[in-house]
Amino acid sequence: MPTAEYVSQYLRSYAVLLPPSITPEFVAEYLLAAFHEAIPEPADSIEISCWDIDEFRPYRDIEARNVTLPLMISEREIKDQLNALLRECESASDWAGEDDDIFALCSVNGRELPIAMMLKGRSVPRPMRIKDAGVNSDQVLRVAEAPAAVFVVQHVHKITEPVRRQLRMNIEALRSRGHEAYCAFIDGVQTYKLLANSLWPSTATRS
């Protein structure tokens, strides 16, 4: 990011005409402030935050400082609650060869996009590794084969970097073929926030 001094010098060097009441320094400060305040669109990045998903954003500020991981909730409970947030009535069935646990429509910063989600509950009570992703360790690969634009991996604990890297690589491959694609991750703390109002209403407070 250029400095205000650099921008003002550039304006002077190229003899940009300004009204007498507006200095190059003022224009430089204005331009830089606009850059700092701009919110990047999802298209600028392969990975978006789960809070960029409009249906999930209202739960971002739920208090979660005292949450203990792993969350002891089942994948079925997670699926039901996330489906409710997405206003989706049906889910993919639970079997070892499924490509995604949830396939629905979501809104990302105001844009409606199809979303595919891979879910993990208390059956994996540790940080998620590649070998925890399906019986053949290929569930992350298969979720990216869904006809979606947003691909999400969720877990009741932490999600390790190899899992994150694998999904990012899949999204890069989709983009290289001309597909619009983004990935997001929902770890145990974020899962708690999303489900708190439904599963733990007495403890759900805004931070």
3-state secondary structure of 71: coil
**How would you write the pLDDT of the chain (207 residues) with one tens digit per residue?**
567 776 667 666 755 566 777 787 887 787 767 766 654 454 568 999 999 999 999 999 999 988 999 999 999 999 999 999 999 865 544 434 455 699 999 999 999 999 999 999 999 999 999 999 988 889 999 999 999 999 999 999 999 999 999 999 999 999 999 999 999 999 999 999 999 988 777 666 776
Preceding omega of 201 cis (within 30 degrees of 0): no
Query: Contact 140/99 with Cβ under 8 angstroms?
Result: no
Tell me the two tokens of residue 182: 């983004």
Antiparallel, parallel or unpaired: β 182-186 and 150-154: parallel
Predicted TM-score (pTM) of the model is 0.75
- Rounded to whole angstroms, the Cα distance separating 10 from 4 reads 10
The closest of 1, 2, 4, 8 to 22, measured between CA atoms, is 8
